């Protein structure tokens, strides 16, 4: 029986991962709210699309149960869904805060919890794997103007460690803390180039690197609770570059 991955947030990087997983022979259950942008193989019989707004708590159980009903097993959960827009201090509202926190952190915790019930039905010692997509700057150097985003991504990083302990020994939970991969909407080419120059490697992270690391995390047996920086070295640059 083919392995099944449940993935959220398939507009850009998530869409690339969808394609990658389909090409590797996985069944993919993909949660989108508005866009399926980078997914090309939209008619694949191995792809199951679920429309859901992850700022609504009721969707967390639904997306997991629908995946199970469609494919009859869940082997991995990959969480990318994340808004990214400015919320400077003094202008943070309850609405803009929860617009970040719910899809980024709350969805991750609850979908992981519900997936775990099904993963534990799988055979073998390692029964499931969970991968969160975090952010290089969370650990030590959040930048200004993105309060709701950073508080939510910080909770996501913590949830990875908490769940890694709670779900051991049969489910592995890790996080890929990304640096610059794709220019954010509204960011100028000049800003983007400036950002890349602040990485020691002076270049963006290739999408292919993300595919390789996801592939690794879907196979590795001895790693959990890890926050892996895939960021062209940005987290070690500080302000010295
Ligand atoms: N791009 C980078 O260079 C970079 C750098 C650091 C970290 N990251 C992280 O990597 C991940 C992917 O980045 P990206 O640039 O590909 O993201 P993106 O293009 O900004 O897309 C964001 C995704 O989140 C989904 N989303 C947001 N709110 C949602 C909600 N309430 N319910 C359901 N889905 C929701 C969007 O779905 P819809 O479009 O369907 O609304 C979309 O698929 C994110 O977690 C991001 O924080 C990316």
Residue 115 has pLDDT above 80, yes or no: yes
Q: Is 50 in the pocket of ligand 1 (CB under 6 A)?
A: no
Q: Is 192 in the pocket of ligand 1 (CB under 6 A)?
A: no
For atom 21 of ligand 1, the residue with the nearest CA is 11
Residue 240 has pLDDT above 60, yes or no: no
- Cβ-count burial 204-222 (b if 16+ within 10 Å, e if not): bbebeebbebbeebbeeee
For atom 1 of ligand 1, the residue with the nearest CA is 182
Which of 6, 10, 13, 104 should be mutated for ligand 1, with most atoms under 8 A from CB?
Answer: 13
Q: Is 219 in the pocket of ligand 1 (CB under 6 A)?
A: no
Q: What residue numbers bound the domain in which 98 lies?
A: 4-237
pLDDT confidence of residue 239: 66
Beta strands in the chain (DSSP E): 4-8, 27-32, 47-51, 76-79, 128-135, 171-178, 227-230
| Cis preceding linkage at 169, omega within 30 | yes
Share of the chain above pLDDT 70, in %: 99
SS (H, E, C) 134-150: EEHHHCCCCCCCEHHHH
Q: Is 55 in the pocket of ligand 1 (CB under 6 A)?
A: yes
**Domains identified in the chain, total number:** 1
Render pLDDT for 199-224 as a digit per residue (tens, 0 to 9). Answer: 999 999 999 999 999 999 999 999 99
Render pLDDT for 153-178 as a digit per residue (tens, 0 to 9). Answer: 999 999 999 999 999 999 999 999 99
Q: For residue 207, how far is its CA from the centre of ligand 1 (angstroms)?
A: 14
Q: Is 66 in the pocket of ligand 1 (CB under 6 A)?
A: no
Residue 241 has pLDDT above 60, yes or no: no
Render pLDDT for 11-39 as a digit per residue (tens, 0 to 9). Answer: 999 999 999 999 999 999 999 999 887 77
Q: For residue 11, how far is its CA from the centre of ligand 1 (angstroms)?
A: 7
At 134, which CATH number?
3.40.50.720
Residue 138 has pLDDT above 60, yes or no: yes
Q: Is 182 in the pocket of ligand 1 (CB under 6 A)?
A: yes
Q: Which atom of ligand 1 is nearest to the CA of 84?
A: 20
């Amino acid at each position: 029986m083919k392995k099944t991955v449940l993935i959220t947030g398939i507009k850009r990087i998530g869409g690339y991962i969808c394609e990658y997983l389909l090409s590797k022979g996985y069944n993919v259950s993909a949660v989108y709210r508005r866009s399926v942008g980078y997914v090309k193989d939209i008619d694949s019989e191995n792809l199951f699309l679920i429309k859901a707004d992850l700022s609504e708590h009721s969707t967390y159980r639904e997306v997991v149960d629908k995946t199970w009903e469609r494919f009859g097993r869940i082997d991995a959960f990959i969480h990318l869904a994340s808004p990214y827009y400015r919320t400077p201090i003094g202008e943070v509202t309850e609405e803009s805060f929860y617009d970040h926190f719910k899809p980024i952190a709350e969805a991750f915790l609850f979908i992981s919890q519900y997936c775990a019930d099904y993963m534990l039905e799988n055979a073998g010692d390692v029964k499931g794997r969970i991968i969160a997509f975090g952010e290089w700057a969370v650990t030590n150097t959040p930048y200004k103007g993105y309060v709701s985003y950073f508080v939510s991504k910080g909770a996501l990083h913590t949830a990875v460690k908490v769940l890694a302990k709670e779900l051991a020994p049969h489910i592995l939970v890790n996080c890929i803390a990304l640096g610059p991969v794709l220019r954010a909407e509204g960011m100028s080419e000049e800003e983007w180039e400036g950002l890349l120059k602040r990485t020691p490697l002076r270049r963006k992270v290739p999408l292919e690197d993300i595919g390789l690391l996801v592939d690794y995390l879907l196979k590795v047996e001895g790693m959990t609770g890890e926050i892996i920086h895939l960021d062209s070295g940005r987290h070690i640059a500080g302000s010295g570059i």
